[in-house]
Amino acid sequence: MTTEFDLGALLAERGAERYELHGKYLNHQLPRMLHTIGFDKFYDRGEGAHFWDADGNEYLDMLAGFGVMGLGRHHPVVRKALHDVLDAQLADLTRFDCQPLPGLLAEKLLAHSPHLDRVFFGNSGTEAVETALKFARYATGRPRVLYCDHAFHGLTTGSLSVNGESGFRDGFAPLLPDTPVPLGDLDALAAELAKGDVAALIVEPIQGKGVHEAPPGYLRAAQELLHRHKALLVVDEVQTGLGRTGDFYAYQHEDGVEPDLVCVAKALSGGYVPVGATLGKDWIFKKVYSSMDRVLVHSASFGSNAQAMAAGLAVLAVMENEQIVANARLTGELLKSRLAALTDTYELLADVRGRGLMIGIEFGRPRSLKLRSRWTMLQAARKGLFAQMVVVPLLQRHRILTQVSGDHLEVIKLIPPLVIGEAEVDRFVEAFTAVMDEAHSGGGLMWDFGRTLVKQAVANR
């Protein structure tokens, strides 16, 4: 007798238990944190750059699932591709054949970076980085990998070794041989390369933590230095790639940059099936896979699965057909310019930076005595509390989801779906202006919430 599984019935029956289930069986601190800041919503449905809660309220997504939802939620072309690949009932993951979809997706990806030749498909951004680290060390025969201060490349042991935030690294040592260098500091890079044991430098063209862009000319100069010392340039485009910054890859904003290895993931999934890819030069792959005995020296159980490949192919088709990269560039310029124009109006607003639809809004010490005393109180309790005070009313009052750009940072990062347009820009700027008006008035619910955050920060010390 066959027992049917009814997902809809299960969600209808148990969906309201979501926070209790998470607290009991998963990360117990997540529901606690969400409840503290009032983010414990019941989201039920999403489409494009918007989603809806259980009461039917609509929200604007300026977070895109940390960049995963590049095309927004449930793009019809990607959705159809997944239905089609399931209906095809392919002989997937036999592991002893060569299916067509991985080759087709690799071909499409490599067309956007013609100096690269081959692709390894894994299941996430951190796997793409792990692959690059392994390949770089094997291809050069050297152990050490350089990374930049404040970098974020993932949280598995290898990728954690090139993570520039101590809060993530603490308690997980020993890690791989590594050394941090300041982003943009060519002298520091040269000093490390002179030691002769460096396999590679891994770098984000725009850092996700704080939204800091590599200085003009840095990537090309670093590439020349690395190659002079027989080391590799690895560019992490997990968040910045696939149109996010207004070019297909962020490193392409600088002429002459041709990385040896490039890591992509997130948006390539279409928001459905996890997928990561490491693109590299032919000689590197041939050195790693140097004989038939080494054919499986690096592999992934679910790598190149049909659903992920179909999603990736559909995403690239949508990007081309709907001019997603051009939209990210134009809409990003509009949003950034509108926000930058506010820096003269609000003394708490220190900087607006970024490229395309990856924008950082930084807050800083105000000039006026009244605001300065409140700012100092927040900073004494925990750096980053003011940015959190902005994020919360954006969601609670204006139903716009954003994020603080990193622990102890007074920066909000905007990485919305790349399909947003002028209407969403208007909505965000209007809401942000209202929040800034309240913050500069020196009173109201926003500062009351700030006191709550201060108490919470002190209690957690």
Residue from 247, 246, 240 nearest 266 by CA: 240
- Axis crossing angle, helix 306-321 with helix 324-340, rounded to the nearest 10: 70
Q: Tell me the DSSP string of 410-448.
A: -EEEE---TT--HHHHHHHHHHHHHHHHHHHHT-SHHHH
Q: What's the token pair of residue 115?
A: 């100096």
Confidence of residue 370 (pLDDT cuts 50, 70, 90): confident
Q: Is the pLDDT of residue 458 over 60?
A: no
Given a cut of 70, whether residue 461 has pLDDT beyond it is no
Q: At what angle do helices 422-441 and 324-340 cross, to 10 degrees?
A: 20
- Residue 139: pLDDT over 70: yes
Which residues lie across from 73 on neighbouring strands? 48
| Euclidean distance between CA atoms 96 and 59, whole angstroms | 46
From residue 422, alpha-carbon distances to 67, 116, 138, 357, 426 in Å are 20, 36, 48, 13, 6
pLDDT (mean) for 107-122: 97
E strands, 160-204, are: 178-181, 198-203
Residue 106's nearest CA partner among 280, 295, 298, 283 is 280
> DSSP character for 155?
S
- Comparing 422 with 374, the larger pLDDT belongs to 422
**Cα separation, 115 vs 93, whole angstroms:** 29
What is the per-residue pLDDT for 43? 95
Residue 268 pLDDT exceeds 60: yes
pLDDT for the residue numbered 374: 86
Structure tokens at 262: 């490039």
DSSP letter string, 302-314: TTT-HHHHHHHHH
Burial of residue 127, with CB atoms counted within 10 A of its CB: 0-12 exposed, 13-18 middle, 19 or more buried: buried
Position 55 scores a pLDDT of: 94
| DSSP codes of every residue in 82-115 | HHHHHHHT--TT-SSS--HHHHHHHHHHHTTSTT
User: Burial level of 403, CB count in 10 A (0-12/13-18/19+)?
Assistant: middle
Computed over every residue of the chain, the mean pLDDT equals: 94
Mean pLDDT of 119-134: 97
Q: Provide the pLDDT for residue 444.
A: 63
Over the stretch 15-71, which tens digit does the pLDDT of each residue have? 999 999 999 999 999 999 899 888 999 999 999 999 999 999 999 999 999 999 999
